[in-house]
Structure 1
Amino acid sequence: MTDGGADARSAHLPVMYAQVMEGLHVVEDGTYLDGTFGRGGHARGVLQRLGTGGRLLLMDKDPEAIAVAEQEFGADPRVAIHRGSFTDLAHWGAAATGLDGVLFDLGISSPQIDVAGRGFSFGKDGPLDMRMDPDSGESAAQWLARAGEAEIADVLWQYGEERMSRRIARAIVARRAEQPITRTAQLAELIASVMPRAKPGQKEIHPATRSFQAIRIHVNRELADLEAGLDAALAALRPGGRLAVISFHSLEDRIVKRFIARHAKAPAGNRRLPAVEEFVPTLRAIGDAQKADSTELAGNPRARSAVLRVAEKLAEPRP
């Protein structure tokens, strides 16, 4: 992982741009949703492929991202912009008529990491916030101030796969009894102070990497939102419409992989159980999981953990 997380998206080089454009299979008069606008790298590509009858719907929880979208795309009659989570796409009227493509580019963007005041980075001292929507929910500092030791340890293990989760949680609870933990540098230094040193020859990452990832995922409800967003996307897609999801760590990718498989493949049968209704697939996986190629990695090392999965919605069978 890099400073703040390997799931950062480059502001200048959209991750897996060519593969995403191919996967979405944009048609001129189609309607497409970019549910994680970020700084608009993929959105620009979709818009270039749309004709005058096409539509591009842009969503993001981050007010700074929405400000960029309004400035760059607000005057285009083909574009509609909405601040909010992609979990709410079913309640956005612009998406009610159906979508021909949906893109979720998960994780955090480079601008979010680069601004110390957002609290995502352990390499830049700032308020310990970590919220993608700074106007909603509780910050990382607020959660760490109230959560019990067991809850903190569980989050660090479940969302960061941090083996020292209990030791770190214990240190956090002890430190906050002495003084509030309100800064990213405070937390990063505290975590580093209780972590074992890397063994000779072992690839070394910052000691706070997994913990910062875990806290960010928890504060933003990222995995729960992903599950809800996938369901909403499937419901909104028209037959033949494409779903493209870029994930940046195994927890996200596992959810996407299982979602596609659940809707594309019949579950394994059990001869000891009574027969159930015939399985009717609603999705078709388009190829296997894709990763960034060597050319992209040379220009954007942050893409090294990106995984793209694409699926197509199938037509409902006739009665």
Structure 2
Amino acid sequence: MQKGVCLWVVLISFGFIFVHAKVENGKVLIDGKSRIGETDNDFICATLDWWPPEKCDYGTCSWDHSSLLNVLFDQSERSNPKIKCDLKNKIFKNAIKAFSPLKIRLGGTLQDKVIYQTNNHQKPCNPFIKNTSELFGYTNGCLSLSRWDELNRFFQETRAVVTFGLNALIGKTVLANGSAFGAWDPTNAEALMRYTVKKNYTIDGWELGNELSGKGIGARISASQYAHDTLTLYHMVHRVYKGIERKPLIIAPGGFFDPSWFMKFLNKTSKTLNAVSHHIYSLGSGMDGNLTARILDPSYLDEAAKIFKKLESTINASSSSASAWVSEAGGAYNSGQNLVTNAFVFSFW
């Protein structure tokens, strides 16, 4: 904890140096006996998303080959479209090992459009294709078993702790207004889960859906239906992992905090949910012209803590004993802003 405090002081000091363009002598006193917060081993985490190279925002196509389907680590191979991945980069591996145990969440917007290849899956396993008439702007994509094998070998070698976000829209009908009706169809997810267990791949938690709670982003599911779908996931995990002592966590809904929706959901999942996950983007849109000023304004950083505290209060007021998780917090949504969220100034955030 003291290291975190020291780092924060250093960053503030640099901020004054750049603003005034001069060095000023002074003293900083740190009270090492009292603390304002603490972190545990789960504090450090990262996400591998599904976005293809064609994902562009505000004139910048920032994702390139960073998707869990096509991630590249050798810059010299980027000009070759036939190269799908290189998960053997020693620097990248060592970076993940250094954070051990690093929690890696596999998920994001397009997770609710992913079909999982199975041993009996005879259809071509196609990538996401951009189509503005489709939900989220892309057709369904496919996670091949060979790619799943590659990823899990990588996770095993780096000792990463993996959480996987499942497609929560399979089996549902999404209306033009975004409302999603019908029960979740777990058939495809169960096939992937059984394959994962058969191959002895360790998954720390299975998360259901991405930003489909409350008002939703692109689509939304009612709290009652989401609770029913979470119960389906709970039974499936206990069925597939039968005889295995340490079962993966059940996590949901991975959406933006809505007090009323979350309270209804928590009260209906008190016996099935291990962690209630939510997303925080306190800085707003990546196209905001005042983004740099917001990054340097501590009140926006404090907003994340306020939302988390509200969620904790909601959990305490409900019948649930689930832990509160932030499963995604990118600062500025829609891929951030070029030359801002990928520049030095973003280190303050």
Larger RCO (CA under 8 A, 6+ residues apart): 1
User: Shorter chain as normaliser: what TM range?
Assistant: under 0.3
Bigger helix share: 1
TM-score, L = length of structure 1: 0.26
